[in-house]
Chain A
Amino acid sequence: MSLKIWLVLGLCLFSTFASAEEALTCQSGLYRYRYNGSMHEDPSKFCFDQARSQLRSASCLGGNCEALSQKICDLAAPPGGSQGGARFCRALGGFLQQGAFYDGKAWWDLDRCLFTADISFVDSGSLSARRARCFERKAP
């Protein structure tokens, strides 16, 4: 009986991870940003969602990267209506770049928070969303 429960739980967990992974498409591409009045393009492998509103380096797909291993739950919320993700990025030691990624067909504007330790990155909005989950877990 208990084995069946564990099996069902295991399947549920697996499908959750699977659906999260499915939502992202990973490929090699370019990330461009302006610096010093000129454009720079970094080739990298990254993953994005269908709406192109999430971006992360491929190394972050399993969560084992510098960008996603930081303790974001300990950070205080910034006051006022600033872009929280940008401030979280800096507080975690990342560098915010406002640029665009190329998915093979078009350029999509989206910032990224870059961590130089392993050159991993994630868009700043995803940092805000990640911090929001800290409070979901605490909710009864």
Chain B
Amino acid sequence: MFKLLFFILAAGSLPLSLMAIEPAAPLAVRVKSRSPGTASGAKISSDPRAQKKTPRARGPVALAPPKLSAEEMRINSRIAQAFEVEEEARFGKPPAVKLSEDHIPRVYAPATGNLVPKSKAQCETTPDASKKLGPVRSQGGLGWCFAVVAADLLSAETGKRLSHADLALQFYRNVPNMKATDRFGNPMRPDPSVIEFWSGVTDQAVKQGAERGVCTEAEVSSDDFMLETLTARNLDIGRDIVPLKAVGANVLHSIEESVGKTLDQMAEFPQETCFSVQDAMMLLPKLNSFQVIAALSSARSKEEAIHWLFQQGCRREPLGLKKDWKFRTFQSLPERSAMPGTDLLPKIDEALKAGKPVAMGFDAKRYSAYGANDPSVKRLLHAAILVKREFRAGQCMYLVRDSQGPGCMSFAPPYNDADHCERGQYWVTEQDLAETTLEVSRFE
């Protein structure tokens, strides 16, 4: 009994002690490295076949559906079914609503490269959309910028601070064929055993959130220190692929080890059990150690325990978006111009004038402290949000809300100086945007 009391108390009081504990064995295998996708999941292809398939329309045109072989479609279908089963086992309920792709339409912008700088009169100050978004988020070392952006935009629509960790986990569970095609619809080989915690598609993440609801940050913490550390167990510098389900896997594995043990058994192995309890609590901060221990000791299977924990920790209420909501993406064709974002600027301006934040997929090399001067970094594909436009220092400038936390040192000069950077957000020129933006997305 004293042992039990000891580990319950220990569960909430030893922040640094876990650092020395060896990580749980990873559940999954690592896959062969391949080039990182964009922040939005798109890939830049140098394949001439890809360019032949590119529509040559003058105005925006609808994106052709991906062309998959029958075998690839069968594999994708099987993966999707498997993930559906897993999702239901874990959370006990199917999506609240099933949405079609009509909610997240994509169109091409022509990328003419004709940039006409705006005068002061043409660049009136827009409302600061960041006021709807709360503090700047931090993505840590993970490649989930797309989920941060999607969570921020959904938060702006719903008025709740939604969890980008939950949104990313849902995305990786439910969009298994995200890597099945590149941006030109060319099939890529889907790998049913792999979920990469590295890149994603902003609009698909928005769709997942709208279908299934998203936990709030208070329910599923995205920036808990130990959540970061857990993830880091699978992260090594230089690896471009993070082994599976980086956030969830170790936690779930740890929970699995404890399921079905009686309280007496738990008391015999306090450190092991303590680790599981802490894992569950950091993923679901609203649960206390007693609730977690009760779930672990009474559940008959891992699924049952996890189902119970998530049901108690986060109910994923529907987001309450308007029935006719649309999240439209305008995609440029970077092969056509050195300034692929030129024709995306009017789309950005429209939204900012209406006080709406705009998601942006872009090449962040010039803005990044670690990427700007490093000759080994050819391109840094990233996602962020544009929140304001203003005429500053004689030119029209845009405020980028990044996900590197509230500091400025992650950005390269001059974007990190006091004239450009404001607590994790930095000003860029319209020329910068024209040269680096690859796609923009916004709620209509």
- Residues of A whose CB lies within 8 Å of any CB of B are 33-38, 40, 50-51, 53-55, 75-91, 95-99, 108-111, 116, 123-126, 128-129, 131-132, 135-136, 139
Contacts and interface: CB of A to CB of B under 8 A. Distances in A.
Contacts of A36: 11-12, 15, 224, 226, 278, 281-282, 285
A98 B140 contact: yes
B403 interface: yes
Counting from the closest, the 8 A-B pairs by CB-CB distance are A81-B382, A125-B409, A91-B237, A37-B285, A84-B370, A135-B373, A86-B141, A128-B369
B226 A82 contact: no
Interface of B: 11-12, 15-16, 19, 35-37, 39, 135-136, 138-143, 145, 198-199, 221, 223-226, 228-229, 232, 235-238, 240, 278, 281-282, 285-288, 364, 368-377, 380-383, 403-412, 416, 418, 421, 423
A51 B39 contact: no
26 contacts: A36-B226, A36-B285, A53-B408, A54-B409, A55-B407, A75-B238, A77-B377, A80-B39, A81-B364, A81-B380, A81-B381, A82-B142, A84-B371, A85-B404, A85-B410, A87-B235, A97-B225, A109-B135, A109-B406, A110-B406, A116-B19, A129-B369, A129-B416, A131-B369, A132-B374, A132-B412
Contacts of A128: 368-370, 409-410
Contact of A82 (B19, B141, B236, B374): B141
Contacts of A77: 370-371, 374, 376-377
A97 B15 CA distance: 11
A85 B403 CA distance: 12
Given A84-B369, A98-B138, A128-B370, A37 B286 contact: yes
Contacts of B232: 90, 96
A80 B229 contact: no
A99 B404 contact: no
A53 B408 CA distance: 6
A84 B199 contact: no
A98 B371 CA distance: 22
A48 B407 CA distance: 11
Given A34-B285, A77-B376, A124-B407, 11 more contacts: A33-B225, A34-B224, A37-B12, A51-B423, A82-B143, A86-B228, A89-B141, A96-B229, A110-B406, A129-B416, A132-B370
